[in-house]
Chains A and B, each alone.
Chain A
Amino acid sequence: GNSVTQMEGPVTLSEEAFLTINCTYTATGYPSLFWYVQYPGEGLQLLLKATKADDKGSNKGFEATYRKETTSFHLEKGSVQVSDSAVYFCGAGGTGFQKLVFGTGTRLLVSP
């Protein structure tokens, strides 16, 4: 089955800093890859996705590229805002009616 490993948090940054949250996966076949974001007290919201190798998902200034050769899907943003403070989950699977497998989540704290 699929598994996902993502970097431990919390990640603490100042506003306008560059963000990278690492995510790697193991899978049989080629799963779809996702980043979900969870704001305090809320559910999981899809941030971006990629469905095949070399696809780049992007949304709200966040980007991640599906790298088959390194089995990675790292999340990046060039300039973070205080409002980006949340927990970010990397997920794999979801093709057809497959379940999603998530990483442990990475808490991002952005200070003014």
Chain B
Amino acid sequence: EPEVTQTPSHQVTQMGQEVILRCVPISNHLYFYWYRQILGQKVEFLVSFYNNEISEKSEIFDDQFSVERPDGSNFTLKIRSTKLEDSAMYFCASKGQHNSNQPQHFGDGTRLSIL
């Protein structure tokens, strides 16, 4: 079964540094998402992306965050200047069709640790 793949599985970064988290969605999917899960807390929506633009973003997704689909396969989340509170598990998800109730498929996540 096709999968969403995320790299790296674990990223350790100094506070203030830029970090890029990478995702390869399922190949025929059109809708892409980032969520995050701070340790022990709920999974929170960050941003959705369709047709090369952001569809919706949460209040967490401030100017420090950006997303990009640089080619036909990758979907990246960039954090420009990381803060301690950005430490979390980041999940990428993708979905195939618009007018359907098909589920979002999630990757295994990238654990981001800010020192």
Least CB separation from A103: chain B residue? B42
Q: Verify if A111 is at the interface (C-beta below 8 Å from B).
A: no
Asked if B98 contacts A96 (CB within 8 A), the reply is yes
Closest to A4 in B: B42
- Known: A43-B109, A45-B106. Is A105-B42 also a contact (CB below 8 A)? yes
Bound-complex Cα distance A96 to B55 (A): 12
B56: interface (CB < 8 Å): yes
Task: Given contact pairs A32-B101, A89-B42, enumerate 20 new A-B contacts (beta carbons under 8 Å).
Answer: A36-B106, A42-B108, A44-B91, A45-B106, A46-B103, A94-B95, A94-B101, A94-B103, A95-B101, A96-B99, A96-B100, A97-B48, A97-B50, A97-B55, A99-B33, A99-B45, A99-B56, A100-B104, A103-B42, A104-B42
Q: Give which listed residue, A46, A95, A105, contacts B43 with CB less than 8 A.
A: A105
Highest count of chain B CB atoms <10 Å: which of A34, A43, A49, A51: A43
What class of interface size applies to chain A in its complex with B? Answer: 20 to 34
Do residues B56 and A43 form an inter-chain contact, with CB atoms below 8 A?
no
Chain A 18-38 per-residue mask, 1 if CB under 8 angstroms from chain B, else 0? 000000000000001010100
In the assembled complex, A86 has its CB within 8 A of some CB on chain B: no
A13: chain B residues at CB < 8 Å are none
Interchain CB contact under 8 A, B106 and A99: no
**Interface residue A73 (Cβ < 8 Å from any Cβ of B):** no
Q: Does A110 contact B (CB under 8 A)?
A: no
Q: Is the CB of B106 within 8 A of A44?
A: yes
Q: Is the pair A97, B45 in contact by a Cβ cutoff of 8 Å?
A: no
Q: Which of B20-76 contact A (CB under 8 A)?
A: 31, 33, 35, 41-45, 48, 50, 55-56, 58
Measured between C-beta atoms, what is the minimum distance from B10 to chain A in Å?
A: 11
